[in-house]
Amino acid sequence: MGLRMYIMKRIVYTFILIMFVITLNFIIFLMMPGDPTQLFINPTGRLDPEEMERQLKALREMYGLGDPPHIRYIKAARSLLTWNFGDSIVSGQSVAGEMLRRLPYSVFLLGTSVALSIAIGIVLGALAAYKRGSTYDTVTLGASLFLYSVPIFWLGMIFIYIFSTVLGWLPSSHARPEWAQGVPIPFTTGSSVTATSLNAEFVIAPGFTEFVHGYLLHATLPLITLVVFQYGGYMLLTRAVMLEALTEDYVITARAKGVPERTVLFRHALKNASLPLITNIALGFAGIFSGAVITETIFTYPGVGRWIYEAAVTRDYNVLMPVFYVIALAVIIANFIADLVYGIIDPRIKYE
């Protein structure tokens, strides 16, 4: 089996996973008590009858409620696959557009935090495995175990208390500094270039560096929270995998050859241990997304995770479903990427 075959297989499998999530979404949708449109339409009592009628019609059309279940399923799958999510019940805005506005925040927050915590976790874990039984090992292991069991929302609140309330160093909420509140979120595509985004140029006046600085400052606390929460798991994982690798014959051979310890540790042992590491890291992605939802909620960070919370609070089912789908999709894609990396690194796949 060559690499190409392997990748093809993963793509097919990934597509099956996506269909599974869409099916699950559909089933949950069917499970809702009563006529789904009753829940959809006007849960907040804010719409006028005309608007209600319009939405009802749009909904019925979108979900094809008059159709038999299999046709409805196909329609629902098509609308999700084609990124055609409809409008929010509460705000009336396009879900897809809002999604594009929020995704960059989540991708940035999660991507950075996962990269940082994997790096920290691997280094600390490898060292702990190397110095097994020492004070360093005991302390880092204890700390990691503790941070691993601490609920992330608690960690976030403690950080807010320390860095925001007591020290006053970092902002505890939102993603943008106050002077940029009117500015649309950057990286937005196409349609949302409006008057507000034109004004933005004046608001951005403080200078690009300050602008970035403001955003980074606001992302710091959620980032720290996520990293502190995540690194423990990676560290424990690396330590366990490395303990095994360090007892292998090739490590003994390398040492006998007189290879420097650092090289043995990172070149010989870690490189070989990275395969099970990647598998396990990929398996943990779903859990990380759960943590991200809570972190974004606590810090009122305007990402997708915060959105699912807001949609649930306002009972905006029209948002809840696509957002859940997109989060699941993100996990699937992350898994797919991990699979690809695995395929590229693993020589058994590469050269066979």
Interface ranges with other proteins (CB under 8 A): 16-17, 20-21, 24, 28, 31-33, 145-146, 148-155, 157-158, 160-161, 164-165, 172, 240, 243-244, 283, 285-287, 289-291, 293-294, 297-298, 305, 308-309, 312-313, 315, 317, 320-321, 323-324, 327-328, 331-332, 335
Q: Residue 268 CB, nearest distance to other proteins (Å)? A: 19
By C-beta, is 80 or 152 nearer to other proteins? 152
By C-beta, is 243 or 259 nearer to other proteins? 243
Q: What is the DSSP letter of 93?
A: -
By C-beta, is 183 or 310 nearer to other proteins? 310
Q: Residue 190 CB, nearest distance to other proteins (Å)? A: 28
Q: Residue 305 CB, nearest distance to other proteins (Å)? A: 8
Q: Residue 250 CB, nearest distance to other proteins (Å)? A: 18
By C-beta, is 274 or 335 nearer to other proteins? 335
Helix or strand (DSSP H, E) at 265? none
Q: Residue 228 CB, nearest distance to other proteins (Å)? A: 13
Helix or strand (DSSP H, E) at 84? none
| Number of residues assigned to the chain | 352
Q: Residue 323 CB, nearest distance to other proteins (Å)? A: 8
Phi-psi region of 92 (alpha: psi -120 to 50; beta: other; left: phi over 0): left
Q: Residue 291 CB, nearest distance to other proteins (Å)? A: 8
CB 281 within 8 A of CB 306: no
By C-beta, is 82 or 165 nearer to other proteins? 165
Give CA–CA dist 3/256, Å, rounded: 35
Give CA–CA dist 248/265, Å, rounded: 12
By C-beta, is 179 or 309 nearer to other proteins? 309
By C-beta, is 148 or 179 nearer to other proteins? 148
Q: Please name the residues in contact with 101: beta carbons below 8 A apart, sequence gap of 6 or more.
A: 184, 185, 188, 192, 302
Q: Residue 290 CB, nearest distance to other proteins (Å)? A: 3
By C-beta, is 166 or 195 nearer to other proteins? 166
Contacts 24+ apart (CB under 8 A), 20-27: 21/325, 21/328, 21/329, 21/332, 22/76, 22/77, 22/80, 22/81, 22/325, 23/73, 23/77, 25/76, 25/80, 25/321, 25/324, 25/325, 26/72, 26/73, 26/76, 26/77
Give CA–CA dist 235/304, Å, rounded: 27
Q: What is the DSSP letter of 46?
A: -
CB atoms within 10 A of CB 70: 8
Q: Please name the residues in contact with 153: beta carbons below 8 A apart, sequence gap of 6 or more.
A: 294, 295, 297, 298
